[in-house]
């Protein structure tokens, strides 16, 4: 586990980030509303939508760029970018353009930076969990499985560093 390729680290980061975004926006029962059509569903059925496409690495893990979306908006209607951006702008004028500018600036991430983000979103997600768990057990096994994989990965990194230090 400690020798995850960059591709796998990115995948792990995508997963933990997606769970964080959907859970952060969820109520205490785990329901979160689609940003572009308002449909409410349990976070496990929703998607982490990106205003600027996921293929832009500069904004792929930028919280300002991401909101919960339903399957229809995220997949069938390709993310509803126009509605997505309009609503972002209503919340914070000019943000859509600033995100697009950031997105188009090429950004490369070092492995260290990616690991830092994994760590950051793991901690952020763990902070959100008690809010939902205390009302009903609305956090899914899948979320716990992702957290488990992240912990295993981080433990691998730590023991690797220890080995190197000796
Ligand atoms: Zn929707």
Q: List Cβ neighbours of 152 (8 Å cut-off, separation of 6 or more).
A: 1
Question: Residue 25: which of 52, 43, 44 has the closest Cα?
Answer: 43
pLDDT score for 166: 44
Contacts 24+ apart (CB under 8 A), 2-11: 2/153, 2/156, 2/157, 2/159, 2/160, 3/156, 4/153, 4/156, 6/111, 6/114, 9/111, 9/114, 9/115, 9/118, 9/153, 10/114
pLDDT band at 134 (very low <50, low <70, confident <90, very high): confident
Expressed in angstroms and rounded, the spacing between residue 75 Cα and the centre of ligand 1 is: 10
Determine contact, residues 114/13, Cβ cutoff 8 Å. Answer: yes
**Boundaries of every domain in the chain:** 6-165
Expressed in angstroms and rounded, the spacing between residue 47 Cα and the centre of ligand 1 is: 9
Expressed in angstroms and rounded, the spacing between residue 118 Cα and the centre of ligand 1 is: 27
Expressed in angstroms and rounded, the spacing between residue 41 Cα and the centre of ligand 1 is: 10
pLDDT score for 156: 85
Expressed in angstroms and rounded, the spacing between residue 157 Cα and the centre of ligand 1 is: 38
pLDDT band at 163 (very low <50, low <70, confident <90, very high): low
Listed in sequence order, the DSSP H helices in the chain are: 6-24, 71, 81-91, 95-104, 111-133, 141-165
Expressed in angstroms and rounded, the spacing between residue 27 Cα and the centre of ligand 1 is: 17
Cα–Cα separations (whole angstroms), residue 16 to 48, 118, 145: 11, 7, 10
Determine contact, residues 111/104, Cβ cutoff 8 Å. Answer: no
Determine contact, residues 160/56, Cβ cutoff 8 Å. Answer: no
pLDDT score for 4: 80
Query: For 100-124, what is each residue's pLDDT tens digit?
Result: 999 999 899 999 999 999 999 999 9
Expressed in angstroms and rounded, the spacing between residue 85 Cα and the centre of ligand 1 is: 14
pLDDT score for 61: 98
**Mean pLDDT of the region 12-29:** 97
Query: For 35-87, what is each residue's pLDDT tens digit?
Result: 999 999 999 999 999 999 999 999 999 999 999 999 999 999 999 999 999 99
Query: For 3-20, what is each residue's pLDDT tens digit?
Result: 688 999 999 999 999 999
Determine contact, residues 147/16, Cβ cutoff 8 Å. Answer: yes
pLDDT score for 161: 61
Expressed in angstroms and rounded, the spacing between residue 38 Cα and the centre of ligand 1 is: 6
Expressed in angstroms and rounded, the spacing between residue 105 Cα and the centre of ligand 1 is: 29
Expressed in angstroms and rounded, the spacing between residue 35 Cα and the centre of ligand 1 is: 7
How far, in Å, CA of 57 to CA of 7, rounded? Answer: 13
Expressed in angstroms and rounded, the spacing between residue 71 Cα and the centre of ligand 1 is: 7
Higher-confidence residue of 130 and 135: namely: 130
Expressed in angstroms and rounded, the spacing between residue 139 Cα and the centre of ligand 1 is: 21
Q: List Cβ neighbours of 109 (8 Å cut-off, separation of 6 or more).
A: 57, 117
**Mean pLDDT of the region 132-157:** 90
pLDDT score for 160: 64
């Amino acid at each position: 586990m400690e020798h995850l390729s960059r591709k796998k680290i990115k995948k792990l980061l995508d997963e933990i980030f997606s769970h964080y975004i959907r859970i952060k926006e969820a109520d205490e029962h785990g329901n979160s509303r689609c940003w572009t059509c308002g449909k409410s569903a349990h976070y496990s059925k929703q998607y982490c939508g990106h205003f600027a496409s996921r293929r832009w690495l500069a904004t792929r893990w930028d919280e300002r760029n991401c909101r919960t979306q339903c399957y229809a908006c995220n997949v069938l209607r390709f993310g509803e970018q126009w509605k997505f951006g309009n609503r972002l702008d209503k919340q914070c004028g000019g943000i859509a353009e600033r995100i697009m500018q950031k997105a188009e600036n090429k950004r490369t991430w070092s492995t260290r930076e990616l690991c830092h983000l994994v760590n950051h979103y793991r901690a952020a997600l763990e902070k959100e969990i008690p809010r939902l768990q205390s009302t009903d057990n609305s956090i899914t096994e899948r979320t716990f499985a992702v957290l488990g994989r992240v912990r295993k990965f981080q433990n691998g990194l730590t023991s690797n560093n220890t080995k190197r230090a000796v």
